[in-house]
Amino acid sequence: NPPMGSNFLCVLHAQVSAPVFLYLPGIMVFHKEFQNAGKEPGLQIWRIEKMDLKPVPKQLLGNFFTGDAYVVLHTTSAPSYNVHMWLGNECSQDEGGAAAIFAMQLDDHLGGAPVQYREVQNNESVTFLGYFKTGIKYKQGGVASGFQHVVTNDMNVKRLLHIKGRRAIRATEVNMSWASFNRGDCFIIDLGKDIYQWCGSDCNRFEQLKASEVAIGIRDNERNGRASLHMVEDGAEPEAALGCKPNIPAGSPDDETTDRSNQKKGTLYMVSDAAGSMKTSLVAQSSPFKQEMLTPTECYILDNGVDSKIFLWKGPNANTEERKAAMKVAEQYIKDKNYPKNTQVSDLDPASGGETTLFKQFFSNWKDKDQTTGPGQAYSIGRIAKVSQVPFDASSLHSNKTMAAQHGMVDDGSGKVQIWRVEGGDKVPVDPSSNGQFYGGDCYLILYTYRQGSREQHIIYTWQGLKCTQDELAASAFLTVKLDDSMGGSPVQVRVTQGQEPAHLMSLFKGKPMIIHMGGTSRKGGQSQTGNTRLFQIRQSSTRATRAVEVEPTASKLNTNDVFVLKCPDGLFLWKGVAASEEEMAAAKHVCSFLGGSATDISEGKEPAGFWSALGGKKDYQTSKSLQKTVKPPRLFGCSNKTGRLIADEVPGDFTQSDLATDDVMLLDTWDQIFVWIGNDANEVERNGADKIAKDYVDSDPSGRRGTPVITVKQGFEPPTFTGWFQAWDAKMWDTDPLDRIRAEILAD
């Protein structure tokens, strides 16, 4: 007679002090609490109570008793699902085991589609923390001590919450005593009818702002708006609550024991049930890995233990025993490696598109379903997609910031263009007649001027060729800063590596393709000898701008989605891939006219022998068509290199404009490009080191990503390509200090 009223569990009472659960995977009977699980987008949380499930009231989502275990389900509109098993520091082994069984059952109930996570108090994943924008609140006790998740409007509460964190906010219940305080953090004194927010004298304004969000959440959710909120300065505390105030110690520095420059190193192991027991065998010692290392018939552990993370990848054709035992294998692996018990575990099922961005970044060549290759990659992340592609329409570009952001277009490219080439430590104007042609042996500065409403805006593109010298690279960076300073520091700076040109830069040349030569230089008397055989790849961006990039003249560089121009001693060939567009053909004809000679049109599959001979023989090339075009979810980080090394803390969940800390340098990673946002109150070390922060971030990417365009923007001068990634951007948000605004609202209540 199982306590859940279902027959999927057998509870055996033998010579043991606690029930023993046997999971029978062939019997698909689910707990009644899961009947409505995942039917609507949002968050659902259940607590383990006497080996049964009890839902947590919506008003109290984000409150966790430290002596309990929970099952958390997050559903998106895609739909996609994340199932989390959360364990408090004082929860029992039995409760933890029950949470694991219920999480597995919920996964089965949702058809195996969820990504599963194992969460431990104070070490939750960024994904988990993102569900609670006003912070997680840890409450002392648990169900065994009689503490319940009940909304009672009880005004006799008396507790002290310690607020910690800038990106992910945690409110931990501590002893109601002055001994719990320090000057570096914020605290909330909750007396039921009155809620006091106290911030130490060493707190910065952004930390105070986040503490205010927690206090407001307690008032509005736990007290249904019936409590009074007070902001108390250090030295003006309510003595009735804590008595006479002693000297308060300084705050302890945040824990930065993990070197973030190494946080993404990983090791890959295969899991098998050979000889009747689960064993692991080494596949690759360190990332980046190759996607081909993952065999569909096997399960794998990706060990990112240096950052307290373990990933489980379950091959879609792996046997049932391996797939079902994956989480248990991971927990045993953690014990065998002597990793801390708070190590996070993510259980990924590729059959439902379950690989997360954090997992895929460990692979240098990860390709999702229907992804093509080469410049202008398309991404598809299946059922876990959060961001859908907005079709490009130049006529509505100014009114649609999401479109501007996804396509990287501040306008249609019709503004004023000035181009200089870096020579001898200075910039030399480029003849306008050759605008649009770039050589790999040079560096260029492109100043673009356009209007946004009544305001004149500027972008400085710094284009760096792959064959330019180190002196020219350094000079291009120096000249960019000098040009920026001469214009009052308002321009947006975009650093571009050859072959990684953003769509907007490609659109600046009055309908002509941007032509990029593999080597040589455009300076007078400095041109290097071009090869007898040259191959140009012509590809159209999502904005219909085109680029012609010179590539190695070999058949393996061909792509069925593009047009190629081949110039060789025997003639000039124009090769059209099956999935190429007419706009790409028109751009290719322009390249042919530049190269000189009459071109012979060739359709894919009908190539003459001379074509293959010129390319050194026929070889395999990319033949899959691009069927879907979606964008990867953007990620926002708060960055610092004050200590001499890069520290990047990710902002959890769906970020908003208020997550941009004005005393920080922030990094927005949209995969195709990286934005470095400089807050007005960022210190000089961070402001001057912003470019290095971006470089260190890309260099530490375990996927080996290189050459990604880096865009530097300043607070108050954000282009629509940046603001479009944020929901409801408010251009006037910083006209008034957000903390002063909250204080005024509290005083007005």
Q: For position 271, what pLDDT does the model report?
A: 85
Q: Give the separation between CA 220 and CA 294, rounded to whole angstroms.
A: 48
**Smallest Cα–Cα separation from 88: which of 54, 65, 118, 56?**
65
Band the pLDDT of 153: cuts 50, 70, 90: low
Question: Which CATH class, in words, describes the domain spanning 159-262?
Answer: alpha beta
The order of strands in the sheet holding 81-87 is 52-55, 42-49, 69-75, 81-87, 115-120, 344-348, 309-314, 299-304, 267-272, 279-284
**Tens of pLDDT along 261-277?**
333 478 999 887 765 66
CATH of 630-724 among 3.90.550.10, 3.30.43.10, 3.40.20.10, 3.40.190.180:
3.40.20.10
* Helices 205-217 & 738-748 angle (0-180, nearest 10): 40
Chain Cα centroid distance, residue 27: 38
- E strand or H helix at 284: strand 279-284
The H-or-E segment that residue 492 falls in is strand 492-497
Q: Which residues, listed in sequence order, are joined to residue 196 by a DSSP beta bridge? A: 189, 230
Give residues with Cβ within 8 angstroms of 444, minimum separation 6: 419, 420, 421, 422, 430, 438, 461, 462, 463, 476
Residue 319, by phi and psi: left (phi above 0), alpha (psi -120 to 50) or beta? beta
Least confident of 504-513, 620-629, 651-660: 620-629
CB 439 within 8 Å of CB 464 = no
Q: Is 540 left (phi over 0), alpha (psi -120 to 50) or beta?
A: beta
Q: Provide the token pair at 604.
A: 């894919």
Q: How far apart are the first and last CA of the chain?
A: 54
- Rounded mean pLDDT of 710-726? 91
Distances in Å between the alpha carbon of 212 and those of 60, 186, 306, 646?
Answer: 18, 9, 33, 29
Bridge partners (DSSP) of residue 692 are none
CB burial readout 708-729, b (16+ within 10 A) else e: bbbbbbbeebbbbbbbbbbeee
* CATH fold group of domain 264-361: Severin (3.40.20)
At CA 672, angle to CA 701 and CA 538, rounded to 5? 125
The alpha carbon of 293 is separated from its chain's Cα centroid by a whole number of angstroms, namely: 24
Average pLDDT rounded to a whole number, residues 584-588? 92
Q: Hey, CA dihedral for 372, 373, 375, 378, is it positive or negative? A: positive
Task: Identify which of 222-231, 333-342, 437-446 has the greatest average pLDDT.
Answer: 437-446
User: Is the pLDDT assigned to residue 259 strictly greater than 50?
Assistant: no
Question: Are 355 and 328 in contact, with CB atoms under 8 Å apart?
Answer: no
Question: Quick one: fold of 534-623?
Answer: Severin (3.40.20)
Confidence band, pLDDT 50/70/90 cuts, at residue 146: low
Which DSSP string corresponds to 364-419?
TT---TT---SSS--B--GGG---PPPPP-GGGTTT-HHHHHHHT-SS-S-SEEEE
Going by pLDDT thresholds of 50, 70 and 90, the confidence category of residue 576 is very high
Superfamily of domain 32-145: Severin (3.40.20.10)
Angle between helices 326-336 and 93-109 (to 10 degrees): 140
Q: What is the pLDDT of residue 233?
A: 80
Q: What is the pLDDT of residue 17?
A: 38
Q: In this structure, are strands 563-568 and 546-551 parallel, antiparallel, or unpaired?
A: unpaired
**Rounded CA gap, 637 and 639, in Å?**
6
Contact 57, 41 (CB under 8 A): no
Unique residue bearing structure tokens 């001027």: 449
pLDDT tens digits along 539-550? 888 888 899 999
Confidence of residue 289 (pLDDT cuts 50, 70, 90): confident
User: Are 32-145 and 159-262 the same fold in CATH?
Assistant: yes
Which CATH number does the domain 400-509 belong to among 3.40.50.300, 3.40.20.10, 1.20.272.10, 3.40.630.10? Answer: 3.40.20.10
* Tokens, residue 523: 């300076």
Encode pLDDT of 52-84 as tens digits: 899 999 888 999 999 999 999 999 877 888 999
From residue 590, how far is each of 514, 566, 616, 748 by CA, in Å? 10, 13, 25, 66
What per-residue string of b and e applies to 335-365 under the rule 16 or more CB within 10 Å gives b? eeeebeebbbbbbbbbbbbbbbbbbbbbbbe
User: What string of DSSP letters covers 176-189?
Assistant: SSGGG--TTSEEEE
Residues in the chain: 749
Provide the phi-psi class of 51: left if phi over 0, else alpha when psi is between -120 and 50, else beta: left
Q: Which amino acid is at 485?
A: D
Q: What is the separation of C-alpha 41 from the centre of its chain, rounded to a whole number of angstroms?
A: 21
Q: Which two tokens stand for residue 302?
A: 């990706």
CA-to-CA distance for 658 and 369, rounded, in angstroms? 35
Domain residue spans of the chain:
32-145, 159-262, 264-361, 400-509, 534-623, 630-724
Instruction: Compute, in degrees rounded to 10, the torsion defined by CA atoms 8, 14, 18, 21.
Output: -20
Tell me the per-residue pLDDT of 435-475, one tens digit each, with 9 for 90 and over: 999 999 999 999 999 988 888 999 999 999 988 899 999 99
Report the percent of the chain where pLDDT is more than 70. Answer: 84
Q: What's the pLDDT at 298?
A: 86
378 has pLDDT over 60: no
Looking only at Cα atoms, what is the longest distance across the chain?
94
